[in-house]
Amino acid sequence: MLPQWHVIRGKRSVNRIERVFTGRRKAFIPFITAGDPSLDVTEKLVLTLAAAGADLIELGIPFSDPVAEGPVIQAADERSLAAGTNLDSVFNLVERIRGDCQTALALMTYANPVFRYGIDRFAKRCGDCGIDAVIIPDVPFEESEEFRPAFSQNKVHLISMIAPTSAGRIRKIAEKASGFIYCVSSLGVTGVRSQLDDQISDLIVQLKKVRDIPCAVGFGISTPRQVSQMAAIADGVIVGSALVKIIAEYGDQCVEPVRQLADDMIQALDA
Amino acid sequence: MNNGRFGIHGGQYVPETLMPAILELESSYNKACRDDSFTQALDRLLADYAGRPSRLTFAANMTADLGGAQIYLKREDLNHTGSHKINNVLGQVLLARYMGKTRVIAETGAGQHGVATATAAALLGLKCEIYMGVEDMNRQALNVYRMKLLGAEVHPVESGTATLKDAVNETMREWTRQVQDTHYVLGSVMGPHPFPTIVRDFQSVIGKEVKAQLQEKTGRLPDVLLACVGGGSNAIGLFHAFTEDSQVRLIGCEAAGRGIETADSAATMTLGNPGIFHGMKSYFCQDDQGQIAPVYSISAGLDYPGVGPEHAYLKDIGRAEYVPVKDDEAVRAFEYLSRTEGIIPAIESAHAVAYACQLAPRMKPDQIMVINLSGRGDKDVAAMARYKGEKISE
Ligand SMILES: Cc1ncc(COP(=O)(O)O)c(C=O)c1O
């Protein structure tokens, strides 16, 4: 199979997100923190993950106080900030990556860096450098109107989230959603979990009843087995802490071991 | 009010997992406020357990010494557990029980809010867990032991700067882990709506009492109200009953640490910029990238990079003023009040006393100033001795 980016090179970013969920298998969505351990390594990781078959890659913008994050990604944010990563350096990185890679890219950040940079300016920069989607976990449905117009003007999807506590809110969240829906697998923050909740499958069933929109499950998914479990109920699987743990362990030498875990997970999806 | 906005400030910037919980909190709170059984139970606890109303003491020696305004002290230091924090905590823990929650969690800086929460949880039969930065656990070791005595579990927080902001982060994370049976007892007028409003309502008893007490003693309104501002709960509690009385000056005293021109400061109103953090839009100490700045104050309770959204609004519209007060000024005021009035204030409250010492002499003798003594200084005695270079063992 040709890597997707050959097929859609040069197309508008809106299509990049659509393509994520129309492949032959469920989407594989790795998350890494930009700038951990350095922006150079992040660039190699993105290209490697794209070549391995990742359908969408999430880049975390490091934040001093990531309240939705468990210890693994908190530590990654600290390493990245200590290495001097800032917003403009991440945007420049994305521009470089877009030179030879058309895999869909999402930024994961918190409300404050976006607000401080200027919501309009941030959204425009995302659109200009080829970011397809933005995930801001501390902007729930109730506050999303402050952010949504700037992103849609720049053809960047502001991703809506649903969580195990969302019952009763699914319809209104789904109606405003754009691109895909991020389903939080279980209560709590990001991090490796040995057990996943089965509540989430009910939630996805409910979601699909109100709107036919792709949904990707994240938080706690760390083994190829869990990846295939989640793929059975969702359109895509997001893996973060498990990869970030490898980056923490191997530092500059992390590209190969990250590729190995990604390969195993993609194989689990192909099976 | 739209999602609890104060002008542009406030709001509900929390992860989706928590959103249903804060909506439930809002509707339960509104219901409880209309439920006589709830309001009567709270009034009883405030009177018979916390010891309200707290006294309004005329500070005769200080007034004579400073030679300006007549100075009154609102004695929140005399409350059970030693600070204003009990007003909010009794309300919230009662509310938690009203909502059917079986467990409460809370952040604490100085330990006063943690102690108050542990106290209320012990009284009302809820499980209690407190998150506290390890820096603060060292500064306030006695309060850590106090919380344990009261049956609470204390979790050390080592992430970030290991102070109040990090304790808030960790308590929020814990709330998302176990939100169904747990209420987060937020300790100040901050965080996502409805917390700033709920905490303000529970603390507004301070200003209501001051108004009545001063009316009885002097037959008039005060000219100046002074309170220290960390998150801002004791200050809002004092100010709220007077916000419509435009002739009353409202002054919040924030912690300048080693000085606003140094990196070691927590003076959010003076140094901060608008931002979105800990569930609210408000002012925050931050860099140009929106990273929250590490802050510093000698006082663990004021060592916070943000401020409650209602204060941000009062500043924007010019209704309240906010002034920075340095560590050494606060320490001098701590000693001064101890010697002149025989009252050892919390180091937080001493920030307000310090500014009073500057302002009172510039006021006329027929003018009235009320200082909120938000807490007593017992918890700070050992740290003050260390600050002065004295070796004592507690
Ligand atoms: C005695 C005392 N005063 C003031 C504060 C600051 O909080 P706030 O600004 O919410 O009143 C604290 C916080 O720990 C405190 O213990």
Q: Which residues of B are catalytic?
A: 85, 107, 374
Q: Which long-range contacts (CB under 8 A, 24 or more apart) does B329-333 make?
A: B329/B354, B330/B255, B330/B298, B330/B299, B330/B354, B331/B298, B331/B384, B331/B387, B331/B388, B333/B357
Which pLDDT belongs to residue A192? 76
Comparing B368 with A7, which gets the higher pLDDT? Answer: B368
pLDDT band at A5 (very low <50, low <70, confident <90, very high): very low
Q: Give the CA distances from residue B91 to residues B47, B180, B372, in Å, rounded to whole numbers and listed in that order.
A: 13, 20, 20
Tens digits of pLDDT across chain B (394 residues)? 467 999 999 999 999 999 999 999 999 999 999 999 999 999 999 999 999 999 999 999 999 999 999 999 999 999 999 999 999 999 999 999 999 999 999 999 989 999 999 999 999 999 999 999 998 998 788 899 999 999 999 999 999 889 999 999 999 999 999 999 999 999 999 999 999 999 999 999 999 999 999 999 999 999 999 999 999 999 999 999 999 999 999 999 999 999 999 999 999 999 999 999 999 999 999 999 999 999 999 998 999 999 999 999 999 999 999 999 999 999 999 999 999 999 999 999 999 999 999 999 999 999 999 999 999 999 999 889 999 998 877 5
Given CB atoms, is B172 within the 8 Å cutoff of chain A?
yes
Provide residues with CB under 6 Å of ligand 1.
B 83, 109-110, 112-113, 188, 228-235, 301-302, 346, 348-349, 374-375
Look at B176 and A187 and tell me if their CB atoms are within 8 Å: yes
Given CB atoms, is A130 within the 8 Å cutoff of chain B?
no
3-class state of residue A101 by DSSP: coil
Residue carrying structure tokens 């003798």: B365
Q: How far away is chain A from the Cα of B8, in angstroms, using its nearest Cα?
A: 11
Which pLDDT belongs to residue B2? 61
What are the sequence ranges of the domains in chain A?
Answer: 8-185+197-270
Q: For residues B110 and B115, what is the distance between their CA atoms, to the nearest angstrom?
A: 9
Domain range A8-185+197-270, CATH class: alpha beta
Q: Which atom of ligand 1 is nearest to the CA of B346?
A: 1
Enter the ipTM.
Answer: 0.95
3-class state of residue B13 by DSSP: strand
Angle between helices B36-44 and B19-33 (to 10 degrees): 90
Among B21, B172, B276, beta carbon nearest to A111: B276
Which pLDDT belongs to residue B142? 87
pTM, 2 dp: 0.95
Which pLDDT belongs to residue B394? 59
Q: Give the CA distances from residue B283 to residues A75, A79, B275, B292, B313, in Å, rounded to whole numbers and listed in that order.
A: 26, 27, 6, 11, 10
For residue A11, pLDDT beyond 80: no
Tokens of B287: 């860099």
Distance (angstroms) between ligand 1 centre and the Cα of B231 equals: 7
pLDDT, tens only, A187-234: 888 887 777 767 788 999 999 999 999 999 998 899 999 999 999 999
Residue carrying structure tokens 């209560």: A187
Q: How far away is chain B from the Cα of A230, in angstroms, using its nearest Cα?
A: 19
pLDDT band at A249 (very low <50, low <70, confident <90, very high): very high
Q: Which amino acid is at B10?
A: G
Distance (angstroms) between ligand 1 centre and the Cα of B315 equals: 19
For residue A126, pLDDT beyond 80: yes
Look at ligand 1, atom 6, and give the residue with the nearest C-alpha.
B230
Given CB atoms, is B288 within the 8 Å cutoff of chain A?
yes
Residues of A in contact with B11 (CB under 8 A): 142-143
Tokens of B40: 């009567």
Percent of chain A with pLDDT over 70: 94
Given CB atoms, is A267 within the 8 Å cutoff of chain B?
no
> Quick one: closest CA in A to B171, which residue?
A67
Q: Is residue B292 within 8 Å of B165, Cβ to Cβ?
A: yes
Q: What is the DSSP-derived secondary structure letter of residue A113?
A: H
Distance (angstroms) between ligand 1 centre and the Cα of B234 equals: 7
For residue A3, pLDDT beyond 70: no
Residue carrying structure tokens 């990654």: A76
